[in-house]
Structure formats: C-alpha cells, structure tokens
Structure 1
Amino acid sequence: MKVGLISPVVTAVPGLVAAWEQDAGITGLATIAETADRLGFHHLTCSEHVVVPSDVAVQRGATYWDPLATLGYLAARTTRIRLATQVLVLGYHHPLEIVKRYGTLDRVSNGRLVLGLGVGSLQEEFELLGAPFAGRGGRADDALRALRASLGVEEPTYSGSHYQFADVVVRPTAVQRHVPLWIGGSSLRSLQRAATLADGWVPFGLPLDGYRALLDQVDQPDGFEVVLPAGHLDPIGAPERTVAKLEAAQSAGATVLNTTIRAESVAHYVEQLEALAELGGL
C-alpha cells in the first residue's frame, strides 16, 4: 500500500486547519517529513496559489506556502519520500519555467519529484497574474505535452498549439527522464486528461463512489496511479475506523492513498504517523 500525506502547516483552510499548525513553522514540518521519510510513506505534498483575493480567502484560506521553496528545503531533510506538488496551475507558468525550476528540484532531491498539475479554476487569480483564463484547458493540454518532451532533456524541442521552442538549453534538468505527472481535478475531463497525457489522477472534493463512477468510464493505461483521499485519520484514537477508511479508498480504485492526519501538536502528529505506518503495513 502506497500511503502519502497531505502536508500540514503549508495551507490553512478555514475550519480545517489545526491551531498548532500556525506555530509549527518549517521546523515542525521538517520533523514530520523526516518521520514520514523514515517510516516509508510514499509522498508529501505542497499546493500552489500565488495570490488569493481577500473575499475568496474567506472560503479557501490565504496561507499557501510556495511549493518550490518548501519542497526544496524538505528535500535536504529527507532521503526517500517523494515530493509532490498538489497542484501547480499550468496556466501560471511557461513549460520551460517548470522544466528548469522543478527539474532542479528533482536533481537536488535525487529524483524524488512528482509533478501534480492542474488547469486551475480561480479566475480572479488568473486575472491578477495576467494569465489567460479562457481556453486554459487547451493551453494546459499543450503544456503537458511540452513538459513530457522536455523534462530530463538538456536540449528540448517542441512545437505545439500554444508552445514552440528549439535550439535551447536547459541545464540542470531533471534526473528522472520520466517525471511522474499527476493531474488534479474532479471532473471526467480531468481524468481523461490524466489517462492520455499523464501518469496519474489526484482528484478531490467527491465522495469515494463519485471517484469510482468516473474511473469506471475511462480506460487507464498500465501503471496509472489513482491517488484518492482517505479522509481525516486518527490512527491512535480510532484504529479500526482508520483501517476501514484506507480499505474504502482502495476499494474505490486507489493505487496511492492521500491521508490527512488528526493531531494536536507536532509531537502528536509524529505519534500518529508511527501508528498509521503500523496499521498500513508500511
């Protein structure tokens, strides 16, 4: 069973963030990451919002740590656990920008990068960044093709509907020639995009039977990762319920589990990880 973590601390969604997370900082997060690394957890995550309008922050929260800086620091504090963006918004970046910046992260982490990528839905953020919102789906598809042609390649060449480049050098680039690409989103279109242009699907916001219904409509290639949320887990306080949630996500089609851990402090979170590792057979 591959079990990953929705990282605490790095986001603060109203109603969901625990009080201790606001004070834990990078030191607390690193302690959690080191423990997860030692115990054999598959990945940890960091999301991306560059800027959130004040009225939107009431629902989505305003705290979003930058994934490149955050995961770069955690790369130096860990040795095995994968570092997953969940997710970068493709429309905010030129593909070669991602190739260079996150290719460097892959190199400094010795090949542990997972690029979680999404089309994006917050129109106000697109507009504030000067990124086109209309047509973002087609642009994202072309960006994915450009990324696949370029990650791990020092002299990439690509000619597509939105991006074209040749006679360029990107150095350093990723250690992995095939960096795993996971597509976020909870629509049928996002799953189709993932199955045809990427390596996995990392949805959110639906009940498990909703994910199962979508998965039943799309053929997935060999090795395709379905990264489903297992919900909020309390391995020490409710071990049987924790196991049931893990098994339910697997039954819905998960090949990788995304978990959120209930905790009251960094120390408690570490204890919960120890218990979850035992329950999950890591």
Structure 2
Amino acid sequence: MLTYPSGRLSYGIQLPVQSQSTLYAEPWEATAGPAELLAVARAADRHGFAYLACCDHVAIPRRLAGAMSTVWYDPVATLSFLAAATEQTALLSHVAVVGLRHPLATAKQYATLDHLSGGRVILGVGAGHVREEFDALGADFAARGAVLDETVDALKAALGPDEFPAWQGARISFSGLGQRPRPAQRPRPPLWVGGSSPAAVRRAALRGDGWLPQGDPREALAAKIERIRRLRGEAGLDGEPFTVGALAEPLYVGRATWDVGRRTLTGAPGAIAESLRAYQALGVTQVQLRFRSRSADELTGQMELYAQQVAPLLD
C-alpha cells in the first residue's frame, strides 16, 4: 500500500485543465486539453512528484456553472490516460464522490486502474456538496455523510485481495460476486478521506489511511491533526501507517515579473522551502502544490525549478 510516512515531506500536484473552477483555474487552461495534461503528467513523473490528482463531478447545475464551470474531467478516464504516459507518480482521485455510485462499481474502476498502472492508485474520497448531482443520480444527499462512512468500509472489502468480496451493512450489501482483475497493491490501494468538517476529520481518523484537508489555513491544521492522532490512539490505530496531507498556498519559484497574487509564496528557493517546512513541523507528510502560471510551459518550468531547487532543501 502506498504511504507517505513522517520523516520527509512528499509533494504532489492537482492537475490543471481537468477542473476549471474560477477559484483556482488559470486563464490558459480554458483552451488547453490532452496535450497539456500529458506534458504536466510527464513533468510530474520526471521530477519526483508523489502523485497527480484529478477531481470528480458528474454534472454541474446552472446555478453553480458560473463559478464552478462545467469542465470536470472524469477522474478514472483521465488518470487511466495518464497512467500509460507515466511510470512512477501515483494516481489520486481528489476526491471521488463515491456516494454517487455503488461501491462495487467504484471498486471495479479503481481496481482495474491499479492493476493497469502497476499499483499506483490512491483513492481519495469525499461526501460531495452539489445536491442536484445526487438528485439526478438517485443518491441520498441528506444522508451523504452516513452513506460515505459505510461506503468507505465497503470499499475496503471490495478493493481487498478476495476475488469474491463480501460486505453487509445498513445500506449496502454484496457477496458471491467475483471481480477481477484485483488491485496490484496489497492488501489494497489506500483510501484517503477528504474534508475538514468535524465529521470528515473523524471519518479520516477512524476509517481512512490518510487525510486530505479542504484548504484549511495553516493555523487551523494543528488542532485537527492532533484530533486525528488522539482518535487513532483511542481506537488502537496509532501504530498503522497514516498519511497527513495539506494544500499549500500557491507557489511561484523565483522572482515573478507579473502579478502572482498576494497569497502566493514566491521568491528564493530557500525562503519557499523554509515556509513549507512549517507544514512538516505540524505533522504533515505530503503537501499538494499549485503553481501560478501563464501557460503549460511555464507550469512545467515551475515544476522543474521546484524539484531541482526547493525539494532538496526540505529534507
């Protein structure tokens, strides 16, 4: 099972292009497509990025389309496309809204992807927030938290080594149904739980193999990480591997000649590394990076500068 233990700060990246919310998409992404995704994925693989991440939305209602856009690539299709063009970097759904689908359907997709990629899948899961999506697919929006709790447990069974997995829960049950190929990872691919609400943090601590916070500022992370440690200790889970994530502020390595935004970490590699080491001091073991850029070439150039000049200063 893929893990990112304490002792060093691993770094991954959310792919551009595949989701184009106005909160973070750069203008150049609007006219980009497969060629740019391939270039970024190959750069991540070449420069030691721990993972590539892809979001999940089935359909966006008109009331949200202005802010969220309707550009949301399917994560399994996108990560499968990029798996064939990469060798080392892991493939993360950040996050799959697994309550929209039966766990056996989700397991079939991600087990196949793990098999084809040689064991590089990380299944990030979340509760979702768009009611119309749930309504259109016949899923229970009001109970999505409870559904996610059970779905995570069911997915652990469905993604395990058994050809005929079995699960019996309040809402979901299956047995006597075989699925091959099985995942390449043993005992199964990791499940990272996304979200920063009290329920999501508890879910990550007690059911997940890792935590993906939802954009918490640094000052909010320490208390939540401590709560995860406490909950896992009380449940007897503190001896098992667990990956703690964080979303870093936007980055720009070097001196920017354009407006990269007030919140962007920019400047000399040493200053950026010092800022990121503060995450490690909080107990974070992997940090998701987002680089400001005006083109795919500038983005891959930033990734190279980070890998060559910043990453060596983190250890």
RMSD across aligned positions (CA): 1.5
Question: Could you say which residue in structure 2 is the equivalent of 1:141?
Answer: 149
* CA distance in 1 between partners of 2:242 and 2:199 (Å): 16
Question: Could you say which residue in structure 1 is the equivalent of 2:210?
Answer: 200
Deviation of the 1:134 alpha carbon: 2.0
Deviation of the 1:256 alpha carbon: 0.4
Deviation of the 1:242 alpha carbon: 2.6
Match of 1:212 among 210, 222, 226: 222
CA deviation map 1:174-226 (0-9, x unaligned): 11132111111111221111111110000123211112121222324342111
Report if aligned partners of 1:44, 1:84 keep a CA contact under 8 Å in 2: yes
Please show how residues 1-282 of structure 1 align to structure 2 within 5 Å: 1-152=9-160, 153-176=162-185, 177-219=187-229, 220=232, 221=238, 222-237=240-255, 238-239=267-268, 240-278=270-308, 279-281=310-312
* CA distance in 2 between partners of 1:217 and 1:257 (Å): 19
Deviation of the 1:251 alpha carbon: 2.8
Report if aligned partners of 2:23, 2:67 keep a CA contact under 8 Å in 1: no
SS at match of 1:77: coil
Deviation of the 1:33 alpha carbon: 0.7
Which letter maps to 2:94? Answer: Q
The normalised TM-score by structure 2 is: 0.85
Report if aligned partners of 1:230, 1:245 keep a CA contact under 8 Å in 2: no
Deviation of the 1:241 alpha carbon: 4.5
Deviation of the 1:47 alpha carbon: 0.3
Report if aligned partners of 1:45, 1:86 keep a CA contact under 8 Å in 2: yes
Figure out how many residues of one structure are paired with residues of the other and give that number: 282
Report if aligned partners of 1:99, 1:174 keep a CA contact under 8 Å in 2: no
- Sequence identity (%): 37
CA deviation map 1:79-129 (0-9, x unaligned): 000000000112101000011011101111110000000111222221122
**Unpaired segments ≥5 residues, structure 1:** none
* CA distance in 2 between partners of 1:252 and 1:6 (Å): 22
SS at match of 2:94: strand
**Against the structure 1 CA distance between its residues 201 and 92, is the aligned structure 2 distance closer, same or farther, given a 3 Å change threshold?**
same
**Against the structure 1 CA distance between its residues 15 and 141, is the aligned structure 2 distance closer, same or farther, given a 3 Å change threshold?**
closer
Report if aligned partners of 2:12, 2:287 keep a CA contact under 8 Å in 1: yes
**Against the structure 1 CA distance between its residues 10 and 98, is the aligned structure 2 distance closer, same or farther, given a 3 Å change threshold?**
same
The normalised TM-score by structure 1 is: 0.95
- Could you list the runs of 4 or more consecutive aligned residues of structure 1 that deviate by over 4 angstroms after TM superposition? none
Which letter maps to 2:304? Answer: E
* CA distance in 1 between partners of 2:166 and 2:32 (Å): 43
Report if aligned partners of 1:229, 1:249 keep a CA contact under 8 Å in 2: no
**Unpaired segments ≥5 residues, structure 2:** 1-8, 233-237, 256-266
CA deviation map 1:3-30 (0-9, x unaligned): 0001111111115321221223111111
